[in-house]
Amino acid sequence: MIIEVKPGEIGGIVEAPSSKSFTQRYVLYSAFSGKPVTLRNISYCDDELIAIDIAKSCNAHIEYQKRDIKITPDFKCPKKIYVGESGTSYRLSLGLLAGRKCTTEISGKPALAKRPVEDLISCLENTGSIFYKNSEGFYKIDATNSGNVYCTLNASKSSQFASAMLFYYSFFKSACFGIDSMVSEKYMDITVKTLEDFGINIKRENNNFIIDGYLKSKNDIHIEGDYSSASYFMVLGIFTGNILIKNLKKNSLQPDSGIIKILNDAAGCIEIFDDYIKINKAYEIKTVVVDVSATPDFAPVASVIGIFSKNGVIIKNYQRLEIKESNRYLNILDMVEKFGGIAEIKDDFMFIHPGGIKNPDTLIYSDHRMVMSAIIAGIIAGSKTRYGDIEAINKSYPSFLNDLKKLGADIRFNTEI
């Protein structure tokens, strides 16, 4: 599908969609652990739907009521699961399947098979699981002989490896595993919170995670709003002002909640309340500094600030962008050039700053975060750019276009370029 977006007069109120990082963890752990739960405020993005389908493959019964789901698990090892292009569901499922001693064939979209998973598999092999790689690059797991064996994990490519191993060891009454190194470490806080809500007590001593004892389990959980999804309208609001975003928990565990500090350090224009934020127009924007190791999903839309603000944006550790849903490093360079920005590449950072504003006729990206970032860039530029592969945004933010319309953008749908 192709859309054309005209800026309009921007301003108004939107509600952040559910955090798919939380949703996927709760859905999958409920299904595999046999612990029922009601989850409220689900946005039904593609990644959340993948987790729900995996739960169904494990014989869980799902009841739907508007934006709430009730999961009643009756666990059976699935013969097959489909992980789509959800790296989170894929990696977490590996740990869960091994923990439940399943023999399961995994399939998904080809692009996901190219993303790293080998260090996680190596750790699971050390605990007794056997993996067979198929021609598509996915695996069949035979975890019949998996056991409570200490493993030291290299999570330098993804914190999801560590989350998967924490899920794995949670099926033992007492267990421990070590971490050699880990990126985006704060995502482990979300995993620990999930397990604690299901009654699993987690301790950390230096580089070891320890499962020890039980807590009171919750069975009714509200999924908080997603900061990475909200960041598109935060960036837009810096240039337009008058945007209020609801459903954002003030003291969130989400690593991307740090986006507010990044933007306030540079622009000082975001007001923070208990469950919403207000973005005012910034009349001066200092250089924005983003570390991909800490907030990787913020890089595409942060680069938009660099295109239009004189002091630019520094993106550290940009090399990690090459192994996301797409090669976001190359896509960011393309988007910056198409809108007239300049990207200077250094050894460990890229510096994006203005050149002369351009108005591209058509942009097509297959990556959801690139599509949404390009649309925000087009509104700020005042362009009449058309955007292709618009369905990609359903991966994380299916209501994005509706929310954009609420804020005053004029969106016209076409079926052809």
Question: Beta strands 37-40 and 270-272: pairing type?
Answer: unpaired
Which residues have CB under 8 Å from 118's CB, separation 6+? none
What gap in Å lies between CA 171 and CA 305, rounded to an integer?
45
* Residue 395 annotated as binding site: yes
* Residue 100 annotated as binding site: no
* Residue 412 annotated as binding site: no
* Residue 87 annotated as binding site: yes
* Residue 159 annotated as binding site: yes
Handedness of CA 247, 248, 251, 255 (dihedral sign): positive
State the Cα angle at 389 between 384 and 393, rounded to 5°.
Answer: 95
* Residue 91 annotated as binding site: no
What gap in Å lies between CA 69 and CA 59, rounded to an integer?
15
User: Is residue 59 within 8 Å of residue 32, measured between CB atoms?
Assistant: no
What gap in Å lies between CA 219 and CA 272, rounded to an integer?
30
Catalytic residue status for 297: yes
Element (H, E) at 105: strand 103-107
Q: Of these residues, 46, 197, 291, 297, which one is catalytic? A: 297
Across-strand partners of 178?
152, 208
Tally Cβ neighbours within 10 Å of residue 274. Answer: 8
* Residue 40 annotated as binding site: no
* Residue 399 annotated as binding site: no
- Which amino acid does the sequence have at 315? I
Which residues have CB under 8 Å from 120's CB, separation 6+? 91, 94, 95, 153, 158, 160, 161, 164, 165
What gap in Å lies between CA 19 and CA 293, rounded to an integer?
19
* Residue 181 annotated as binding site: no
Q: Any idea which residue has 């190596």 for tokens?
A: 122
* Residue 80 annotated as binding site: no
What gap in Å lies between CA 226 and CA 138, rounded to an integer?
29
Question: Beta strands 341-345 and 349-354: pairing type?
Answer: antiparallel
| SS3 state of residue 112 | helix
CA distances (Å), 224 to each of 17, 38, 137, 393, in order?
8, 14, 34, 19
Tokens of 216: 């009171």
Tally Cβ neighbours within 10 Å of residue 222. Answer: 13
What gap in Å lies between CA 256 and CA 121, rounded to an integer?
27
Catalytic site positions = 297
- Please give the annotated binding residues for 3-phosphoshikimate, written as ranges: 20-21, 25, 158-160, 184, 297, 324
- Binding residue numbers for phosphoenolpyruvate: 20, 87, 115, 160, 328, 369, 395
Return binding residues.
20-21, 25, 87, 115, 158-160, 184, 297, 324, 328, 369, 395
